[in-house]
Chain A
Amino acid sequence: MARHAVILAGGQCKWGVREAHLVDLFQEGAKACFDDIPTLKPKDVDGLIVASSYAGRCSFQVNTAPVVAERVGVKPTSICTRVDVLCAGGSTAIILAKGLVEAGMADIVMVTGGEKLYTPQKWEVFYSELASVDHDWDGTNGMGLPPPFFSLTAQEHMMHYGTTKEQLAAVSVANYNYAATNPVAQMQKTLTLEEAMSAPIVVPPLTLYDCCPITDGAAACIITTDEIARKFSDRPLVYIRGTAQVCLNSVSANFPGAHLADWKHTKLAGEKAYAMAKVGPGDIKVAQTHDCFSISEVIEVEEFGFCKKGEGGEFCGSKQIEIGGKVPVNTDGGLLSCGHPFGATGIRQGTEIMKQLQGRARHQVEGADIALTHNLSGANAEHTVLIYGREPVK
């Protein structure tokens, strides 16, 4: 009988500027995950995949997986490793865990991700970000901190499609308001369109609420097979139906689209994941797309086919991303409000989608049965898509 991967449980610690060490955060993330599934114990876990990109840079710790395994009390026997795909590390670890459990190479895999980005001196927090882009060719141009790159992206979207600043602000407003009651989000405040429109400038046209913050935090989830999951939980099963990861360039000059607002690699990743999941854009009831910047979400809803190319501004500005809209997006607050500890983000997204498909999300989308998560890594260098569903692919 075919083995089908499911996400069984998940959780995250409080994200933000944390007075904690990286390994403290991983322990908190694991606890949040086990708290979500009291019947499952650390001894039941046979595999561990750790997603962290800045462990080596900011915590002086490479070969992070054994450190995390020991601290969270798991003793892996099938896999114990770390992945680094920056912003998509968590999603990548889920993809790998799916492959391992479906191949029979592992049974119960803990996927955990975390970053400790705030170091004792502020300059290093920002300076270290130079490692996020192609070091010699983009880092040297001061592209480590991403607002300038996404300013250019937003301007080209405005030039080609007439998108407005108000439409960008609508994304921030929606995502902040989703997170206003999320106790583990970095930003827990409501936001009005007026506040978003009058916020301090970062890099025009981007202002404060257009940009996700820098975040410390961790998250963890459990990937196993449907058959094993039934032994631990009677919640509805949430299957990982389709996955894709697309990389067509690293250096920004080799961007694959006709311009910076034409995300061909995103579209390709969506198409591949839809095909594997045997669903289409019209089947997606709720999504977690990578809103590192408000403009990102505007472009993502286009490239995933929730609306036509060029109409993302109108789609987001007309509340189609909110509860009751065509496709509610980032229902837990997304990167903009939850924050973005790179390796943990995909796990946060997967956990929110699991809750949506089990009918227990804070902002529940009624009848959610098929959902999508997405990450963009680096200077728009890689795209990762997962499609979850209440049924396995038949």
Chain B
Amino acid sequence: MSVLGIPILENLYPSTMDMWPLEAKEFNRNWQFYENLKQGRLTTTKCKDCGLVSWPPRVICPECYSENLEYVDLPSKGKIIVFSEEVRGVPLGFESPLIHAVIDLGANPVRRVLSRIVNCPAGVLKRGDEVQLSVFPVPAMPIDKGKLGTVMFERVFFAFEPIKK
């Protein structure tokens, strides 16, 4: 696969053009968030010293600067507070309709999480609708392992979807 206009980038992976997080352990100390997500769990970090639950996850507590953190589960169901629907002009990487919503997951610090609503056509969502976590695969990330060659690291990300009644 060549990169148009830049033949030297044939078969090379420019991470600076990657819209998804570098989720692998080699590049991200919050890699466990994504491993939990692969198990269908939405999690974040909680400080074992001062008790603060942070969103998004951290490697150091922003309140007391403790490094003694643990992953805790967040609610995977919530209610739509407000949403927007973009039907035309959806940017590269996303499908129409691109639906954004402020979702109340019912607990701090995720009472107003801004996420995407997937598996939902335009024009059917209503404020107050219940939604649930939806985990989906995103393109694997090629990591150069030297003599071992290139390893493809599987990745996932999350959004929310309407709960079928």
Give residues in A with beta carbon < 8 Å to B: 123, 126-127, 129-130, 135-145, 147-149, 151-152, 155-156, 159, 201-204, 251-255, 259-260
Contact = CB atoms under 8 A, between A and B. Distances in A.
A371 B132 CA distance: 48
A155 B102 CA distance: 11
A147 B86 contact: yes
Contacts of B92: 123, 126-127
B63 to A, nearest CB: 13
B115 A148 contact: no
A86 B53 CA distance: 29
The A interface, classified by DSSP as helix, strand, loop or mixed, is: helix
B94 A204 contact: no
Most buried by A among B19, B110, B113: B19
5 contacts: A141-B114, A142-B100, A151-B100, A201-B88, A251-B55
B138 to A, nearest CB: 8
Nearest to B23: A136
A143 to B, nearest CB: 7
A142 B84 contact: no
B128 interface: no
Given A143-B100, A253-B55, A148 B82 contact: no
B111 to A, nearest CB: 9
A239 B113 CA distance: 42
A120 B34 CA distance: 35
A260 B102 contact: yes
Contacts of A260: 82, 102
- Most B CB atoms within 10 A — which of A142, A145, A252? A142
Nearest to A123: B92
Given A140-B21, A152-B100, A253-B109, A126 B85 contact: no
Contacts of A254: 55, 109
The 6 closest A-B pairs by CB, nearest first: A151-B84, A136-B21, A252-B114, A148-B100, A142-B94, A253-B113
A127 B100 contact: no
A201 B89 CA distance: 10
Nearest to B110: A253
A163 to B, nearest CB: 14
Given A126-B91, A142-B94, A204-B84, A253 B20 contact: no
Nearest to B54: A254
Contacts, number: 83
B56 A136 contact: yes
A139 B19 contact: yes
A1 B119 CA distance: 67
Given A142-B100, A143-B114, A137 B19 contact: no
**Among B55, B83, B91, B93: residue with most chain A CB under 10 A:** B91
A204 B85 contact: yes
B30 to A, nearest CB: 9
Nearest to B34: A136
A151 B159 CA distance: 19
A252 B55 CA distance: 10
B115 A141 contact: yes
Nearest to B159: A141
B157 interface: yes
A203 B98 CA distance: 10
Given A126-B91, A130-B19, A142-B93, A152 B84 contact: yes
Contact of B114 (A127, A152, A201): A152
Contacts of B98: 142, 148
A191 B52 CA distance: 51
Given A136-B56, A253-B55, A142 B91 contact: yes
Contacts of A135: 21
A139 B100 CA distance: 12
B134 to A, nearest CB: 12
Given A140-B21, A152-B84, A254-B55, 7 more contacts: A123-B92, A127-B91, A136-B21, A149-B114, A152-B100, A203-B85, A253-B114
Contacts of A137: 56
A186 to B, nearest CB: 19
B116 A142 contact: yes
B56 A152 contact: no
B112 interface: yes
B32 to A, nearest CB: 14
B37 to A, nearest CB: 12
B34 to A, nearest CB: 10
